[in-house]
Amino acid sequence: MIRYTLQRLVQSLIVILAVVTVVFLLVRLSGNPAQVLAPLGATHADIVAIGDRLGLQHPLYVQYLTFLSQIVRGDFGTSYGFQAPVVQLLATALPYTAELAFVAFAFASIVGVSLGTISAVKSGTWIDGVARFIGLIGQSVPVFWLGIVFVLVFAVKLRLLPAFGAGGPEHLILPALALSLRPMASITRLSRSATLEALRADYTLFERSKGVKQSVLMRHLLRNMSLPVITLTGIQLADLLSGSVVIETLFGWPGMGLLAIQAINLRDYTVVQGVVTVDTIIVVLMNLLVDLSYGWLDPRVRRRVFA
Amino acid sequence: MAIQPQLDLLTDSPKAAAVPQAITEPGRRNRRGHSHRPYFSGGILALFILAGLIGPLIAPHSTTHVSLSLYLRPPVFAGGTWAYPLGTDELGRDVLSRLLGGARISLLVGLSVVFISGAFGLVVAMISGYIGGRIDAVLMRFTDATLAFPTILLAIVLAAIFGASEQNVIIILAVGGWASYARVIRSEVLRLKKQDFIVMSVVMGAGPLWIIRRHLIPNVMSTLVVLATLQLGAAILSEGAMSFLGIGVPPPAPSWGGMLAGGSDYLTTAWWLALFPGIALSLTVLASNLMGDWLRSRSDPTGHR
């Protein structure tokens, strides 16, 4: 177990290092990195000053090592566009994205798992129809369009909920709802098929023939269907993060996604670099947690992988 | 948005190697509508491809010509005229013509991404699946990392450094899109290469390239087509999202995502600006997903591989 954990940890670090390296190299590929990092309307002297800070006069590997040591120390540089240290901007934005993603994902999981399980048990009924409809729509309708429709209906026509910015819990409802649809669709589809599979398994037939209580049977079913659903969670996180960039921009939600898009419009690459690095670390760590949770959920995996 | 087709649509989970139970979709073959011919999705896709091919030729107006005196005309069923059946936008451009122009962008981006990432994914799958061993392990780690990485971050970085362009959109989506092909087709290859006809070919002295060309590629073709159909929808959706964010196809090109972004500023006064591109996008993606589902259920009567 410890060996497997360490192995996965090292792999995760390699992925993070690779992404950071690509981010570093891409700026250098663009020609003059100081030009890219300079704000709009920077003077020639400004650009030279930025070049000095980056250490452009040194060979590439020295620049790379300096860059790495800065990142490890949490120093992402200073944003010219926002007039603030990047790390401070990230620290302000991160909780907003986390809140939005967490609420959206929790909602998607609760609805998706319940709907998927019920629709498998009651296969062919109207609930099954609803589940399939959500599964189909959720993967086809663009989240940004869904968000626009939500704004149009709930904010503009019905005037029930605010459409823009952050504030009380009511500000969270529309963006979280819009963001949750896509993961909800995947979770519903997968829960449905995993439950159908569990229902057909030999142990279910055996328990039924023994007359095991419905509640006990359900517990066994849920445990067996949870593995594929958890597997999906890690992949969904990447999807959720992508979706949140779009949703945050649409709803003016001050998270990491909006920060990145604003930074692009200000041509503030320092901020973009910080957002991408932090997002990558989050995604990689979450995937690590998902992988490690298999063993906890399924003793068979523990024996096979951790042996 | 996702650059990959949603993973639960694929027969193989990217994590299947770590999990002993393969994630199959046993209920899928029973799904309603799969026995029918896909008239709805086929019709929409045909319409979409037609619009992409000849749309700009039959469009009544220019897609980019600005005439401020014509701005925000409503569609014909909401008090507009037949000269501009779906109304005009904030710069007086014809919405219908721009929708047709947008179909060409979506089609071009979608097909390019599918072609490039499909070809690359196929090559990786063949190397990984047929040769196996250490190369396989390294390639599959790389594939997993690509699958787990949010492609939009790459899009943001490239847009920040090199600026947005249609070409960059295709590159980004292809870089993010090959991995699902590699994953799924590799598992096909692993299954195929143990089968008698391939084992016999090896015994009879066939080389790896010959086996790949004559046996493996024809046998994974149906899987490839299913994945490509699903990815077409995913790529169009992603292009829409990127253009919506302003890091995709730059204006004034009539991309559906860009039209939506422009329209979202006029929700209270000109709802049609956001409505029509959204419908076009949703229907095209829906049709491509339905078609992919249908193709899979047809190519695989048992419901799982």
The CA distance from A36 to A30, in Å, is: 8
What CATH number does the domain containing B229 carry?
1.10.3720.10
Residue type, A157: K
Task: Give the residue numbers spanning the domain of B278.
Answer: 85-299
CA distance linking residue A36 with residue A260, whole number of Å: 15
Domain-embedded: residue B35:
no
- The tens digit of pLDDT for each residue in A11-23 reads 888 888 888 888 8
| Cα–Cα distance for residue pair B172/B242, rounded to 1 Å | 10
Highest averaged pLDDT of the listed ranges A68-72, A201-205, B58-62, B283-287: B283-287
- Domain architecture of chain A: domains with CATH: 87-305 (1.10.3720.10)
Residues 6+ apart with CB under 8 A from B87: B72, B73, B74, B75, B78, B80, B95, B270, B272, B273
Picking from A122, A126, A157, A231 by the largest number of B CB atoms within 10 A of its own CB, the best residue to mutate is A231
CB atoms under 10 Å from CB of B188, counted, come to 20
* DSSP at B13: -
Largest CA distance in chain A: 83
**What pLDDT is attached to residue B10?**
42
Handedness of CA B1, B2, B7, B9 (dihedral sign): positive
Element (H, E) at A78: strand A78-79
Closest CA to B233 of B110, B66, B94, B98: B110
Domain presence at residue B148: yes
What's the pLDDT at A298? 67
B52 in a structural domain? no
Measured in angstroms, the CA of A211 and the nearest CA of chain B are apart by 25
Q: Which amino acid is at B3?
A: I
* Closest C-alpha to A77, from A114, A50, A107, A111: A50
- On whether the CB atoms of residues B1 and B241 are closer than 8 A, the answer is yes
- Tokens 């190369």 locate to B135
For A291, name the nearest residue in chain B, comparing CA atoms only: B18
Minimal-distance CA residue of chain B relative to A275: B153
Closest Cβ opposite residue A305 in set B18, B233, B257: B18
Q: Say which range, A37-41, A224-228, B143-147, B263-267, has the weakest mean pLDDT.
A: A37-41
Q: What is the pLDDT of residues B54-78, one digit of tens each?
A: 877 887 777 777 777 777 777 777 7
- Cross-chain residue pair B286–A151, CB shorter than 8 Å: no
Is B31 contained in some domain?
Answer: no
Q: Does A235 touch chain B (CB under 8 A)?
A: yes
The residue of A245, A270, A273 whose CB has the most chain B CBs within 10 angstroms, and thus the best one to mutate to test that interface, is A245
Touching check for A228 and chain B: CB below 8 Å? yes
Residue B182 placed within a domain: yes
Residue in A15, A26, A142 closest to B157 by CB: A26
> CB pairs under 8 A, 24+ apart, for A123-128?
A123/A196, A123/B27, A123/B30
Task: Tell me how far apart the alpha carbons of residues B151 and A227 are, in angstroms, rounded to a whole number.
Answer: 25
Which residues are B94's β-sheet partners? B88
Contacts of A245 in chain B (CB under 8 A): 152, 156, 245
Q: Quick check: B155 and B242 in contact, CB under 8 A?
A: yes
Q: What are φ and ψ of residue A181, in 5° steps?
A: -60, -45
Q: Does the distance separating the beta carbons of A242 and B150 come in below 8 Å?
A: yes
Chain A residues inside the 8 Å CB shell of B150:
238-239, 241-242, 279, 283
| Residue-level pLDDT at A76 | 82
Nearest to A239 among B2, B18, B286 (CB): B2
Separation CA A113–CA B243 (nearest Å): 33
- Does residue B122 lie within any of the structural domains? yes
CA distance A205 to B271: 55
Residue B56 lies in a domain: no
Strands (E), B38-195: none
Given a contact cutoff of 8 angstroms between Cβ atoms, the answer to whether A279 and B150 are in contact is: yes
Percent of chain A with pLDDT over 70: 92
Residue with tokens 């969270």: A172
Number of H helices, E strands in chain A: 13, 2
Instruction: Look at residue B55 in the predicted model and tell me its pLDDT.
Output: 78
Give how far Cα A91 sits from Cα of A47, A82, A103, B98, Å.
27, 14, 19, 41
- B88 SS3 class: strand
Q: Could A246 and B241 be called an inter-chain contact, meaning their C-beta atoms sit closer than 8 Å? A: yes
Enter the tokens of residue B25: 């979709």
Please provide the average confidence, as pLDDT, over all residues in chain A: 81
The residue type found at B7 is L
* Measured distance CA(B227)–CA(B118) in Å, rounded: 8
| DSSP states along B122-150 | HHHHHIIIII-HHHHHHHHHHHHHHHHS-
Separation between Cα atoms, residue A245 and residue A243, nearest integer Å: 5
What domain count does chain B have?
Answer: 1
CB contact under 8 A, B148 and A287: yes
pTM of the model: 0.81
**A79-93, A152-166, B253-267: the lowest-pLDDT one:** A152-166
State whether residue B94 is helix, strand or coil. Answer: strand
- Nearest chain B alpha carbon to A152: B267
Tell me if B26 and A260 make a contact (CB, 8 A cut-off): no
What is the distance between the alpha carbons of residues B158 and A27, in angstroms, rounded to a whole number? 9
- Provide the pLDDT for residue B109: 92
Angstrom distance (rounded) from CA A113 to CA A188? 6
Both structure tokens of B40 = 């709805």
What is this model's ipTM? 0.79
State the nearest Cα–Cα gap between B8 and chain A, in angstroms: 6
Q: Is residue B118 part of a domain?
A: yes
Alpha carbons A296 and B84: distance in angstroms, whole number:
61
Q: Would you tell me which residues 269-298 of chain A have a C-beta closer than 8 angstroms to some C-beta of chain B?
A: 269, 272-273, 275-276, 279-280, 283-284, 287, 291, 294, 298
CB A120 within 8 A of CB A197: no
Helix count and strand count (H, E) for chain B: 10, 0
Longest dimension (CA), chain B: 77
A contact residues 107-126, partner B, Cβ 8 Å cutoff: 120, 123
**Is A265–B246 a contact, with Cβ atoms under 8 angstroms apart?**
yes
Q: What pLDDT, on a 0 to 100 scale, did the predictor assign at position A80?
A: 74
pLDDT tens, N- to C-terminus, chain B (305 residues): 444 444 444 433 333 333 333 333 444 444 444 456 788 888 888 888 888 888 778 877 777 777 777 777 777 777 777 777 777 777 778 888 888 888 889 999 999 999 999 999 999 999 988 888 888 888 888 887 787 777 888 888 888 777 788 888 999 899 888 998 998 899 888 888 888 888 888 888 888 888 888 888 888 888 888 889 888 988 998 898 888 888 888 888 888 888 888 887 887 777 788 888 888 999 999 999 888 888 887 776 554 43
